[in-house]
Amino acid sequence: MLSTEPTAYAVDTVLVDASQADAAWATRVANFGMRVRFDRPSRTLPVTLTGANCALHCRHCAGHYLQHMHPIDDLQTEGMASCLISGGCDPQGRVPVASHLSQIARLHEHLRLNWHVGMIDEDTMRTIAPFVDVVSFDVVGDAATVQEVYGLPFDLDDYLREMAMLVRYARVVPHITIGLRAGHLYGEERALEAMVGLPIDRLVLNVLMPTPGTDYADSDPPPLPEVARLFVKARLLLSNIPLIVGCMRPYGRYRQSVDELAVRVGLNGLVNPTQRALRVAEALDMQIEWGEECCAL
């Protein structure tokens, strides 16, 4: 039987320090009570502006995830409540978000839009702003990781400057991927610390998925104790900011452990939760809310 006592959690091979686990749990209860949100984003349509094309050929993706998105020129939106507007990047790390604006304007008449924009300039952001409900923005805390994964010359300061520009025009939800660089952690804590005090109303935490057909296909995902440490640190640092475990995380037993850990140390929600996450939330007598759209929305 699952214990409802928030102390010294053993989650498969993960052991969360009792004092840290208790502090994280107490922080979540004090700021958010016992409500947890689970999202199955069946009513958010993922849209690509570039088809399966991306100039960066990033080492963790290589365009793989674009193949499962819907081309902007061939959309069926019946039953949808929102769209994720995304696409591949150009060589400077920018998604060509100003393309297809007439089609996007029509979408925005009846759907909410969550955008991936990359490192776009202010003029472009100003152009698309009337059609933006939220921007999902990846933040990387280590320049060497940015260079290895994306082949781009950015550091954390560049991401923070970009974010400071974006928030002048739209609500921005930062995303941090744990273990982005072949499953190893470089700069995730710095990125997390940089979020303190920023005008954000939630943070999404993803976990590297070693993906077939990419340079990281044979990598291991980040060690579960490291994921645990980042989850706890995020909860304690961002005490009153909702923390969501996003859709990117490995499957199988690893995912079950991540999900259980997220609930037990007081994160606010998960996308596509496992049955173990549900069982733990129920055992802890949490109030479960369900959503049908992208967690950034």
DSSP-derived 3-state class of residue 290: strand
The domain of 166 spans 10-291
Q: Is 91 exposed, middle or buried (0-12, 13-18, 19+ CB in 10 A)?
A: exposed
Greatest Cα-to-Cα distance within the chain, rounded to the nearest angstrom: 56
Question: Which residues fall within 8 angstroms of residue 168, CB to CB, at 6 or more apart?
Answer: none
Q: Residue 2: inside a domain, yes or no? A: no
Beta strands in the chain (DSSP E): 10-11, 14-15, 35-39, 44-48, 70-71, 82-86, 112-116, 134-138, 172-178, 203-207, 243-245, 269-271, 287-291
pLDDT of amino acid 17: 81
Q: Residues 272-281: contacts with CB within 8 Å, 24+ apart? A: 272/39, 272/40, 272/41, 272/247, 273/38, 277/38, 278/38, 279/2, 280/2, 281/36, 281/38
Q: Residue 4: inside a domain, yes or no? A: no
- How far apart are alpha carbons 264 and 7 in whole angstroms? 9
- Stated pTM of the model: 0.94
CATH number where 249 lies: 3.20.20.70
Q: Residue 220: inside a domain, yes or no? A: yes
Q: Residue 1: inside a domain, yes or no? A: no
Do 176 and 186 form a contact (C-beta atoms < 8 A)?
Answer: no
- How far apart are alpha carbons 53 and 212 in whole angstroms? 17
Q: What's the token pair of residue 295?
A: 């967690």
Q: Residue 5: inside a domain, yes or no? A: no
Q: What's the token pair of residue 14?
A: 């993960």
Do 291 and 10 form a contact (C-beta atoms < 8 A)?
Answer: no
DSSP-derived 3-state class of residue 69: coil
Q: Residue 38: inside a domain, yes or no? A: yes
Number of domains in the chain: 1
Residues of the chain with pLDDT under 50: 1-10, 12-13
Q: Residue 87: inside a domain, yes or no? A: yes
pLDDT tens, 84-128?
999 999 999 999 999 999 999 999 999 999 999 999 999 999 999
Q: What's the token pair of residue 109?
A: 């008449």
pLDDT of amino acid 15: 60
- How far apart are alpha carbons 77 and 105 in whole angstroms? 14
Beta strands in 103-239 (DSSP E): 112-116, 134-138, 172-178, 203-207
Do 208 and 185 form a contact (C-beta atoms < 8 A)?
Answer: no
Task: State which amino acid sits at residue 273.
Answer: P
Q: At what angle do helices 252-264 and 275-283 cross, to 10 degrees?
A: 20
The pairing of strands 10-11 and 14-15 is antiparallel
Q: Residue 142: inside a domain, yes or no? A: yes
Task: State which amino acid sits at residue 145.
Answer: T
